[in-house]
A and B are shown apart, each in its own frame.
Chain A
């Protein structure tokens, strides 16, 4: 019986879902915008590209076997040594080898699962990249390596040696590459794509081809910065130009980084497409015969969406989000430099490919299909579709353009990007935008971050390498994404949005097409905002209150300290009287009679009492906080407390306190627990704001359930 009931419930849900799907709008007709002729926007729009930032150029020539889900080809890599010392070996990332066996660093941490998607158990379980040959083509500072005919027949054979983790390999060079010199190597590679469960791979005819070729690490002054591919470590590479030729089945619709510069007529069921991308640090592509294509323009940027037919009804919502993100981020963080952005919608069965960014291309996620009853209840959310589009596009800036090391400081891309996403949503939808709604209730972008802070951000400091975060703790998202965003939202609110935005824009402008570190960001903020930022001219004791910016960022990024203030107690006591024995001018004790004091606990009359409020800093994070005191006569007074001491008692002689609010303007987004920030004095029990709505809702639920007393 229980089984029947469960089954019926399931069927009822399916019914509702089917009803909704039946009402889904049909796929709109495909639309095309012209392919941009150049991969970058015009210089007067995008601004200059700094000299010397392109250190790794790639010419990739690859062929997709859509039946076996393999990509084979050659990678010709030209690398320039921009350091002051010679380099005798190249270090390469072989990211696909992270999926090669159970004991790779990536798989050992993931244990076959990534963001809820599970590794396939049958065919396609493993992915790998095999570099089958390597050659040194040229060594010298002036060689033009881009023309294929320049291939040197007398190339020197090289040997790639895999590291202890197969996601890294080293290519010893016969002769060191001196400072300012360049070297060109060519590698024949064979990549087996896994069935997609973590960003890259295939599902049926759909192929998401990311991290698929041997890719150079970044040479720092004294070493290669080459991280082992682990579960949370993403990518880090030098900027360069990419020329990519793809040989794919004729029916494949392909989306790729950069712009398509040539499409040869199909031959023997296959076609050859050529792409060019400039000033990027990666190249990814997606191919499926089932993609519909929708292209639109935002100013001179082509927005291209590749969508399975089943999801085509959502293209307008994603387009709106994409345009909103471009409008906001182009204005806030500097012009988007590339001429195109491609949004790939993986099919529903390839959820593992959703939500990943590559230069000028990203994958988004499906908009949740809400059953009709939920839609009637006013449930609406932007989290599953629009937010993903904004977030993944945001990565075009953090770290597509400000190319930080995602493995060493993941907060610089995921966290700063999350911060930027909230700003973009607010720019789009208005201040304190709603990310979800249920009936007349909403979840604001602030709520979204704050709710995640409580459980997920207390174990690790923000500024830690990705590999340190253990999947088992489940804290990576709460710390790296949400807490980082909260640190910078809070800072922005404290110092003032205009001031902060100006400083942050300088950071963005300074570090475009470069590799900023956390120290670089902090240095810009310290320089532009000042080490001490004036928060208030009149603090609780009348003195100015400054925010110690270095200390704030140290606490926010390098410690696990949490912001948590509490209104611990409010009381009104009788005023100190004048009665009793006092020495007079003549030195003799004299008794002064005064009215008998009121009993302890009696509420004094206005003017005769004194208001007391105890504010406690429960968290270890020390930060100035604004307080609002409400008095019986209706007056309100605001004070800023520096928040350094563990607690502070505020007294108001001659005034009777009614209520106290900590951080009344909700500036401290870093504070996860907010309920104890507002308290009313005993005897002034206005509704607490939650119990009454809860009771009303419970009563209505009861009435619905009784529905005519069940007669």
Chain B
């Protein structure tokens, strides 16, 4: 089955995860808005295109707003990572087999998510170690060429993502041990021996990162404007779709060959 088809046949999964992501981001943004509102204390700023000057004055009076913003951003990163780990088992299962429907589908999703949490966390840890090693490799390969190093690093990071997806898919979907580093290494070797797999997964990773960058661009170019918020939310849904597609590529690759 085609990996894209695996995603499109589970729209509920995509929409559910999108809602989770959008809700999380919205919730975490509220303390920032509340902190600013409290600091404003009934005062009004009437120049929507000159917020930099207003913020310079406001942050001078209430520097705690910066702390709230940083805390919200860090929290969103940590919560995002935690939630991604939490739902990863269920996501793999739904992308593998979308047979169950309705309540039973969500129950199955929950079981797969929670049941595989420890082993997926371990695979995630292997991924962190691999990324560190690849960072050194990129540095060694590139010498003093900073641009080359950046490009090599990005390419190698897509490798680590692809290997992690494959190892996780094998463990969750096919019951492979997966806990031992050897199994993780086997996934790495398989990715290295399958350029098409790496290419497909890597392209989707890069596109997703580009979409994340586009969200920032949209946010900066449309500060305070409603269209910018909705565009950012829309792009976040696109990023979610790309993430699922990338995982589906690993699911497809993990299928035993006939």
Contacts and interface: CB of A to CB of B under 8 A. Distances in A.
Given A439-B220, A695-B32, A711 B40 contact: no
Nearest to A689: B45
B54 A707 contact: no
Given A378-B221, A696-B224, A703 B52 contact: no
B116 interface: no
A710 B228 contact: no
A708 B242 contact: yes
Interface string A5-21: 00110011011001100
A682 B208 contact: no
A659 B46 CA distance: 12
A147 interface: no
Contacts of A12: 146, 150
A694 to B, nearest CB: 5
Contacts of B58: 675, 690
A494 interface: no
Contacts of B91: 711
A709 B243 contact: yes
B21 A709 contact: yes
Interface in A422-473: 438-444, 447, 450-451, 454-455
Contact of A707 (B22, B48, B208): B208
B229 interface: yes
Given A701-B219, A702-B29, A441 B51 contact: yes
Interface stretch (B81-89, B105-113, B169-177, B185-193): B81-89
Contacts of B101: none
Closest 5 CB pairs of A and B: A695-B33, A708-B243, A693-B224, A700-B219, A439-B220
Contacts of A697: 219, 223
A706 B25 contact: yes
A698 interface: yes
A455 B91 CA distance: 54
Interface residues of A, number: 64
A8 B135 contact: yes
Interface residues of B, number: 87
B14 to A, nearest CB: 10
B147 A19 contact: yes
Nearest to B83: A709
A442 B224 CA distance: 13
A708 B229 CA distance: 16
B216 interface: yes
A626 to B, nearest CB: 15
Contact of A703 (B30, B222, B232): B232
Contacts of A689: 44-48, 54
B215 interface: yes
A704 B243 CA distance: 13
Contacts of B212: 704-705, 707-708
Contacts of A699: 25-26, 28-29, 229, 232
B33 A8 contact: no
B107 to A, nearest CB: 21
Contacts of A676: 43
A675 B87 CA distance: 45
A567 B46 CA distance: 15
B50 A711 contact: no
A8 B146 CA distance: 9
B118 interface: no
A380 to B, nearest CB: 12
Contacts of A707: 208-209, 211-212, 215, 236, 239, 243
Nearest to A708: B243
A573 to B, nearest CB: 18
A189 B36 CA distance: 63
Interface in B210-241: 211-213, 215-225, 228-229, 232-233, 235-236, 239-241
B253 to A, nearest CB: 16
Given A686-B44, A698-B72, A703-B215, A711 B84 contact: yes
B219 A688 contact: no
A444 B54 CA distance: 12
Contact of A691 (B20, B36, B213): B36
B50 A706 contact: no
A440 B232 contact: no
B132 interface: yes
20 contacts: A377-B220, A377-B221, A439-B222, A440-B220, A440-B225, A443-B52, A447-B53, A451-B53, A455-B60, A673-B57, A695-B29, A696-B29, A698-B69, A703-B215, A703-B235, A704-B232, A707-B208, A707-B236, A708-B243, A708-B244
A389 B55 CA distance: 29
Interface of A: 1, 4, 7-8, 11-12, 14-15, 18-19, 376-378, 438-444, 447, 450-451, 454-455, 567, 659, 661, 672-680, 682, 685-686, 688-711
Contacts of A700: 25, 215-216, 218-219, 228-229, 232
A704 B214 CA distance: 8
Given A678-B44, A699-B29, A441 B52 contact: yes
A706 B80 CA distance: 6
Interface string B121-153: 000000000001001100100000011011001
Given A696-B223, A699-B232, A679 B218 contact: no
Contacts of A692: 33, 224
B3 interface: no
A702 B216 CA distance: 10
Interface string B50-72: 11111111101100010001001
Nearest to A436: B52
Quick one: which of A11, A455, A672 has the most chain B CB within 10 A? A11
Given A706-B76, A709-B20, A688 B37 contact: yes
A711 B91 CA distance: 10
B17 interface: yes
A708 B50 contact: no
B57 A710 contact: no
Contacts of B43: 567, 675-679, 688
A442 B49 contact: yes
Nearest to B238: A708
Nearest to B34: A691
A696 B229 contact: yes
Contacts of B26: 699
Nearest to A19: B147
Given A676-B43, A688-B44, A695-B32, 19 more contacts: A8-B135, A15-B147, A439-B223, A443-B50, A451-B56, A675-B57, A680-B44, A690-B54, A693-B48, A693-B224, A694-B36, A696-B219, A700-B25, A700-B215, A700-B229, A702-B73, A702-B76, A710-B77, A711-B247
B84 A710 contact: yes
Nearest to A672: B57
Nearest to B74: A705
A501 B22 CA distance: 55
A564 B83 CA distance: 49
A7 B135 CA distance: 11
B26 to A, nearest CB: 6
Contacts of B241: 708
A690 B220 contact: no
